Structure 1
Amino acid sequence: MDESASFEIQVLADTKDTADALAGDLTRELKRAVRGVEVTRQKAPDEENTQLVGTVLVAILGTKAVVELSKGVRAWLEKNQSAKVTIKGNGEIIVENAKSGDVEKILGLLQSTKE
């Protein structure tokens, strides 16, 4: 049986409405791209020292689906180039203006949860 992995993905934007819309779109992209992924929304923590607001998604999936998750996030970021996301697993990365080479960066973090 495949072990599961959990990732927190915070979608950041200038307004709460924009963050919510982007998070909804990312949720649909991940459910389309990653077989068996469970995506839930959580209230984003209030951050005093930032001008950005966010919506937090929690993705739970089998560890074998990590590559699919990283590709799904990258594909979504390529369509939403002004979007900024923070992904937390065993580490944290901030991704914005994703390019095709960023899939390795995303994948590296996501795969580190298997160790």
Structure 2
Amino acid sequence: METATIVLKISAGNAAEATELTSELQQRLTQEVENIRIDRKKESQDTLDPGTILVAVLGTQFAVELAKTLHAWLMRNNSAVVSIGSDGNIDCRGLTVEQVRELVRGALANTPKKG
């Protein structure tokens, strides 16, 4: 199976909310996207929080599942912003499921594939 890595950085009104939202998104993706592996990272090692960056490794054929799950989560958590990509240059907020799907496909297309 061909796999790819996608980086998701979660932002919110404050650090505590971002941490909580990151935990919720990680749990949702783990439940909804088949064969996904998620590592949680910190932006700064100087903080005590578990981090607001999710590094997801998944089979490229599950990109649609990832996009649908991410879109549904964003609709429920409208205060959250998810930046996609290792440089965090694409922000997801107020997008349709089709737009999120295209962003996920684009981000996966720009990462090295394994498998």
**Normalized against structure 2, the TM-score is what?**
0.78
Which deviations, in whole Å up to 9, do the C-alpha atoms of 1:40-69 show, x marking residues without a partner? 1101259xxxxxxx7101111111111111
Maintained 8 Å contact 2:84/2:90? yes
User: Does 2:106 match 1:109?
Assistant: yes
Moved more, 31-40 or 88-97: 88-97
Relative to structure 1, is the Cα distance of residues 15 and 3 closer, same or farther in structure 2, using a 3 angstrom cutoff?
A: same
Aligned to 1:71: 68
Which deviations, in whole Å up to 9, do the C-alpha atoms of 1:2-24 show, x marking residues without a partner? 11110110000122111110000
Aligned AA for 1:22? L
Relative to structure 1, is the Cα distance of residues 67 and 100 closer, same or farther in structure 2, using a 3 angstrom cutoff?
A: closer
Q: Which is bigger in relative contact order (C-alpha 8 A, separation at least 6)? A: 2
Separation (CA, whole Å) in 1 of partners of 2:65 and 2:35: 11
Q: Equivalent residues in 2 for 1:1-115 (5 A)?
A: 2-45=1-44, 55-88=52-85, 92-113=89-110
RMSD: 2.4
Matched residue SS, 1:5: strand
Length, aligned pairs only: 107
Maintained 8 Å contact 2:8/2:85? yes
Relative to structure 1, is the Cα distance of residues 100 and 88 closer, same or farther in structure 2, using a 3 angstrom cutoff?
A: same
Aligned to 2:48: none
Matched residue SS, 2:65: helix
Gaps of 5+ in 2: 46-50
Gaps of 5+ in 1: 47-53
Relative to structure 1, is the Cα distance of residues 108 and 6 closer, same or farther in structure 2, using a 3 angstrom cutoff?
A: closer
Maintained 8 Å contact 2:39/2:56? yes
